[in-house]
Structure 1
Amino acid sequence: MTVTIAKNERVVLISGCSAGGIGHHLALELAAHGCRVFAGVRTLSKAQTLVDNPRIEAVELDITDDASVDAAIAYVLAATGGRIDMLVNNAGVLCAGPAVEAPLAEVQQVFDTNVVGLARLCRAVAPVMMDRRQGTIVNVGSVSGYVATPWVGFYAASKAAVHAYSDSLRMELAPFGVNVVVVAPGSIKSNLVVNHGSLFDNNSRYELARSAIEARAALSQASDSTPADKFARAVVPQMLCSSLSAYITCGTHSAATWFLYYVPPVIRDYIFGRRFGTHQLAKDLQSAASGGGGGACPVSGKKGGSGGGGCPMSGRAASVSCPMSGRATSVSCPIASPAAMWVALAAVVVGGVYTLFKS
């Protein structure tokens, strides 16, 4: 089937358009802006709510399969007379849980989908745009690609890879007139969290943090998260703008998370430790081991004193054993010098950023 495309009408291919997700609402919003949208889904039945729109056509597309990608691209090019003006790489999966306990099969799936699958579509579509000397590739990353939080390490790593790949791709395609944009959502209500795998092993060493891990996995579904349709309305005009930004960051927690990228890691670790339960886990583990007691460091969870490791924020000496002699020696914390700098930085940044992140 060949469709008639007006000269000023953009042809857009989007992956991951299952009902309820970000791609679904991006497709609707792009269609509302006059684009001709081909909505990619692994199962066509998942796009039933889109096909009633005369500007949207569902296309079977599994980005982890070469044959599926080739067939989908060939269909769109045949239907539009060889045009794809915008590619939106939206399909993605979540992997939540302690990084050292994540099943490797799930880790493989995350990178096969979020990174390799995205690259597969770029490789298939970019040559068409390069030959026409125009086009835009939009890669959906995440604010987790800016800074990683506990319990979603592999998801964050995959999105950081998307950001880095997009940065390189943007420079490489610029001479051909092709734009590359990263959309980095914050907490967006979608169906992403529904499809995540098991959180941790049956006999996990992180059992005491179960509630914190489950809360982090479901963070995007919190009551203050940005609805996917509102997110789409905010970012689509920026995607279609004649003067494109390299990054479009939008959604609940997005500004605060982006800002934390520039915060010293020791402070960022403290904020995330309090926010996502690793600080509490350290105290719970200490309590379980000692039968109770306080005085733990708010960053490391360790107590001071002989063999305790000391607090990395205090600069106090901690007793450690020399790896050569086995004798105890006293060392001071290197990150606490000069102390005045850290106190001032903590006072200005910790309170403001933590409040912003919680809001």
Structure 2
Amino acid sequence: MTASISETERVVLITGCSAGGIGHHLALELAAHGCRVFAGVRTLSKAQALAENPRIEAIELDITSDSSVDAAVARVLAATGGRIDVLVNNAGVLCAGPTVEAPLSRVEEVFDTNVIGLARLCSAVAPVMMDRRRGTIVNVGSVSGYVATPWVGFYAASKAAAHAYSDALRMELAPFGVRVVVVAPGSIRSNLVANHSDSLIEAESSRFVLARSAIEARAGLSQNSDTTPATEFARVVVPRILGDSPPAYITYGSHAAATWLLYFVPPVIRDYLLGRRFGTHQLARDLKGGCPFSGKKGGGSCPVSGGRAKASVSCPIASPLAMWVALAALVAGGAYSVFKAS
């Protein structure tokens, strides 16, 4: 990166820029829009391709370490005359598998990265922006922060926490002229799963072993052929981040709209639909249960219908057609307008 940085160029610090990930492509797109980008990675060799761009400087940054964060921020400020115009908290880790079987050490790692690490960067950079009375903080959440699905409960919880934290931060920093934006990706093709693969079921003795294929499919959902490429995601999101009045939430990517709309669906219907999609409904059948909600074997009372549920028969809770009519009404009523990209 060249030494001089003009006042018209925005200085961006972005985390989680390993090759092939969302952060990698966001960094390239930000540079293409004329920004000077400091791309944070835990291991500098993973950002070698970015370092070839004259507008990007790769820096070592571990967001779970106070000393690493302090050193990285100090380096950026020293190189730019004391300013950071845009902070993009992109670094994150995945946690997939049954929540009750997840090792607590892994849960701590997920929250330390996805929530505490994000807050650690905000606490280090926000005062600089507040003193200058301008700046933008972008926290990358997830559509999983809107609606949790089976098999990624702790990941969804960490992203929901990031959303809530960002909401409070947005209101607190507004008087200082600092904007806070949540970017909630849908299914984006990236290296998240490859870099953070889990042992989804710890042992064959797992009570969820019959759902192994469903769990593995959910963990790799973002890598399917129908997902949004990270290049497209960056191309759509970056101009909105850099706009004069960025929205509070930017939601974009495959399955994003449908996931967000499910938040407004009654939980009993949402559970049924997600259960069918992600295998808990089938697991209930495989365990010889009747109603997938009560888990009772054979003919038992269904807590939803109030009737009798039979083994291997779907629980008769609601017509999917009626659900989609309700969603269509939400869209027609303007609920979809929260999406600055679709």
The two structures have a TM-score, normalised by structure 2, of 0.89
Residue 213 (str. 1) matches residue 187 (str. 2):
no
The structure 1 residue matched to 2:206, chosen from 183, 204, 207, is 204
Question: 1: CA distance between counterparts of 2:209 and 2:55?
Answer: 49
- Aligned-pair CA distance for 1:298: 5.5
- Aligned-pair CA distance for 1:196: 2.9
- Aligned-pair CA distance for 1:244: 1.3
Alignment of 1:291-306 (within 5 A): 296-297=290-291, 299-300=293-294, 302=296, 305=299
The code of the aligned residue for 1:197 comes to D
Question: 1: CA distance between counterparts of 2:275 and 2:258?
Answer: 16
Question: 2: CA distance between counterparts of 1:150 and 1:46?
Answer: 32
Alignment of 1:262-273 (within 5 A): 262-273=264-275
Question: 2: CA distance between counterparts of 1:279 and 1:228?
Answer: 32
Question: 2: CA distance between counterparts of 1:131 and 1:2?
Answer: 26
- Aligned-pair CA distance for 1:160: 0.2
Aligned to 2:114: 114
The code of the aligned residue for 2:268 comes to V
Q: List per-residue Cα deviations over 1:112-164 (Å, max 9, x = no partner).
A: 00000000000000000000000000000000000100000000000000000
Secondary structure at 2:58 match in 1: strand
- Aligned-pair CA distance for 1:311: 1.6
Q: Is residue 141–residue 162 contact of structure 1 (8 Å, CA) maintained in 2?
A: yes
Q: Which runs of 5+ in 2 are unaligned?
A: 310-315, 329-342
Question: 2: CA distance between counterparts of 1:67 and 1:298?
Answer: 49
Q: 1:204 to 1:353 in 2, by over 3 A?
A: farther
Q: List per-residue Cα deviations over 1:30-72 (Å, max 9, x = no partner).
A: 0000000000000110000101111000010000001110100
Alignment of 1:2-17 (within 5 A): 3-17=3-17
Alignment of 1:41-80 (within 5 A): 41-80=41-80
Residue 157 (str. 1) matches residue 157 (str. 2):
yes
Q: Is residue 190–residue 229 contact of structure 2 (8 Å, CA) maintained in 1?
A: yes
- Aligned-pair CA distance for 1:315: 2.0
Alignment of 1:20-99 (within 5 A): 20-99=20-99
CA RMSD of aligned residues (A): 2.1
Q: Which runs of 5+ in 1 are unaligned?
A: 288-295, 319-338, 355-359
The code of the aligned residue for 2:303 comes to P
Q: Is residue 188–residue 229 contact of structure 2 (8 Å, CA) maintained in 1?
A: yes
The structure 2 residue matched to 1:348, chosen from 316, 319, 322, is 322
Residue 260 (str. 1) matches residue 269 (str. 2):
no
Alignment of 1:273-352 (within 5 A): 273-286=275-288, 296-297=290-291, 299-300=293-294, 302=296, 305=299, 308=300, 310-316=301-307, 347-349=321-323
Q: 1:19 to 1:244 in 2, by over 3 A?
A: same
Q: 1:109 to 1:298 in 2, by over 3 A?
A: closer
Question: 1: CA distance between counterparts of 2:102 and 2:131?
Answer: 42
Q: Is residue 16–residue 24 contact of structure 1 (8 Å, CA) maintained in 2?
A: yes
Question: 1: CA distance between counterparts of 2:3 and 2:168?
Answer: 34
The code of the aligned residue for 2:153 comes to G
Question: 2: CA distance between counterparts of 1:218 and 1:317?
Answer: 36
Q: Is residue 11–residue 86 contact of structure 2 (8 Å, CA) maintained in 1?
A: yes
Aligned to 1:336: none
- Aligned-pair CA distance for 1:349: 1.0
Q: List per-residue Cα deviations over 1:318-354 (Å, max 9, x = no partner).
A: 9xxxxxxxxxxxxxxxxxxxx9xx75x7542158869
Aligned to 1:148: 148
Q: List per-residue Cα deviations over 1:253-282 (Å, max 9, x = no partner).
A: 000000000000000000100000000000
Aligned to 1:222: 224
Question: 2: CA distance between counterparts of 1:346 and 1:38?
Answer: 47
Q: List per-residue Cα deviations over 1:67-86 (Å, max 9, x = no partner).
A: 11010000000000001000
Aligned to 1:357: none
Q: Is residue 97–residue 152 contact of structure 2 (8 Å, CA) maintained in 1?
A: yes
Secondary structure at 1:183 match in 2: strand
Q: Is residue 141–residue 163 contact of structure 1 (8 Å, CA) maintained in 2?
A: yes
- Aligned-pair CA distance for 1:200: 2.0
Q: Is residue 282–residue 300 contact of structure 1 (8 Å, CA) maintained in 2?
A: no
Aligned to 2:339: none
Aligned to 1:242: 244
Question: 2: CA distance between counterparts of 1:120 and 1:85?
Answer: 17
Question: 1: CA distance between counterparts of 2:142 and 2:108?
Answer: 19
Question: 1: CA distance between counterparts of 2:308 and 2:199?
Answer: 41
Q: Is residue 2–residue 54 contact of structure 2 (8 Å, CA) maintained in 1?
A: no
Question: 2: CA distance between counterparts of 1:267 and 1:84?
Answer: 45
Question: 2: CA distance between counterparts of 1:122 and 1:86?
Answer: 11
Aligned to 1:135: 135
- Aligned-pair CA distance for 1:314: 1.6
